[in-house]
């Protein structure tokens, strides 16, 4: 049996719902990327996007497990401004991806998911990751339960 971890960042809970569905179907460890507080508050998406445009990545907690023990990693996050949310990029910078098989997914409210997916793939490939399957999950007008089910459906393809 393969050892898998589902790692995600979620602000609204929609990406979390997808990740939970994937993890449940794969019986994988679920790990959330969490932002560190800045001046006693969690940074807003607008603050994070401005910081990202200056080439700065947000501070995240580094209490995630050692992914070196995992055969596969499923990594996901929301689309912000046609790109992947900056906390996901902070996580990517902290992990040794060399030779690691990674399936990636993004969530999008209306559009931009393909751009975010393409960018995340490019960043991971530069770090030496072997990209597996990819998926964009539209979230507009979908319930959290429906998003979990969509995640489970995609996870079935990852078992093959």
Q: What is the pLDDT of residue 112?
A: 94
Strand 72-80 and strand 83-84: the pairing is antiparallel
Q: What is the pLDDT of residue 19?
A: 98
Residues in the chain: 160
Q: What is the pLDDT of residue 53?
A: 82
Count of the separate structural domains present in the chain: 1
The total of other beta-carbon atoms located within 10 Å of residue 39's CB is 5
pLDDT in tens, 58-114: 999 988 878 888 999 999 999 998 999 999 999 999 999 999 999 999 999 888 999
Sign of CA pseudo-dihedral 118, 26, 139, 56? negative
37 has a pLDDT exceeding 80: yes
Question: What average pLDDT does this structure show over 49-66?
Answer: 86
The pair of structure tokens assigned to 12 is 């609204």
CB 10 within 8 A of CB 32: yes
Q: What is the pLDDT of residue 132?
A: 97
Q: What is the pLDDT of residue 1?
A: 61
Rg (alpha carbons) of the chain, rounded to whole number: 15
152 has a pLDDT exceeding 90: yes
The pair of structure tokens assigned to 154 is 């995609």
- Domain limits for position 47: 4-158
Q: Is the pTM of this model over 0.75?
A: yes
How far from chain centre, in Å, is Cα 32? 9
pLDDT in tens, 114-150: 999 999 999 999 999 999 999 999 999 899 999 999 9
Question: What average pLDDT does this structure show over 34-61?
Answer: 85
Buried b (16+ CB within 10 A) or exposed e, 119-138: bbbebbeeeebebeebbbbe
CATH assignment of the domain containing 107: 3.40.50.360
């Amino acid at each position: 049996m393969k050892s898998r971890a589902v790692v995600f960042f979620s602000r609204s809970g929609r990406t979390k719902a997808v990740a939970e569905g994937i993890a449940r179907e794969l019986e994988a460890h679920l790990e959330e990327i969490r932002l560190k507080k800045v001046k006693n508050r969690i940074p807003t998406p607008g603050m994070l996007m401005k910081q990202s445009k200056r080439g700065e990545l947000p501070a995240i907690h580094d209490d995630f497990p050692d992914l070196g023990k995992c055969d596969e990693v499923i990594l996901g996050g929301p689309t912000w401004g046609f790109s992947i949310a900056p906390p996901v990029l902070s996580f990517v910078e902290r992990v040794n991806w060399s030779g690691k098989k990674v399936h990636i997914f993004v969530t999008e409210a209306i559009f931009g998911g393909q751009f975010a997916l393409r960018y995340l793939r490019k960043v991971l490939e530069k770090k030496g990751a072997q990209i597996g399957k990819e998926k964009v999950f539209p979230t507009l007008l979908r319930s959290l339960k429906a998003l979990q089910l969509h995640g489970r459906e995609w996870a079935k393809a990852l078992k093959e």
